[in-house]
Amino acid sequence: MRSCDRVRWDFISKRSAIKFNSMPKNYQCCIYVTLRPSVLDPAGTAVESGLKQLGYDTVAGVRIGKYIELTVAAEDETSARAQLDQMCDQLLANPVIENYRFDLHCQEIGDKG
């Protein structure tokens, strides 16, 4: 192998390694959106009333929220969290009346859940 070929091979293999290491990973995200404690929850009140009418007298403080699952591709967990914060602030939750939290789980290649 000529020296110029060796230099070219080293360059290509290093470039491939860098490209491979920076491939985005898939993150399974579970997002929980709830009303802020200071906001009245008429749907929660209606469900609580219905449960009591069915005989579940020990139920109290029912609050209704949203649960959202999605997969996001990101370079790392920090980037995935930043994307999710933006999604929640811009669309998935109303920051004036709702709180949100989420869980992230990195999916391996070929892992379906």
Residue showing tokens 């649960």: 67
pTM of the model: 0.74
DSSP tag of 39: S
Digitized pLDDT (tens) for each residue of the chain, 113 residues in all: 544 444 444 444 454 444 555 689 999 999 999 999 999 999 999 999 999 999 999 999 999 999 999 999 999 999 999 999 999 999 999 999 999 999 999 987 656 65
In angstroms, the CA 83 to CA 71 distance is 11
Q: What is the pLDDT of residues 4-20, one digit of tens each?
A: 444 444 444 454 444 55
The reported pLDDT for the residue numbered 4 is: 44
Report d(CA 13, CA 19) in Å as an integer.
Answer: 10
Enumerate domains of the chain plus CATH numbers. 24-107 (3.30.1280.10)
Task: Give dist(CA 60, CA 57) in Å, integer.
Answer: 8
DSSP 108: P
Mean pLDDT of the chain: 86
CA distance 62 to 60: 6
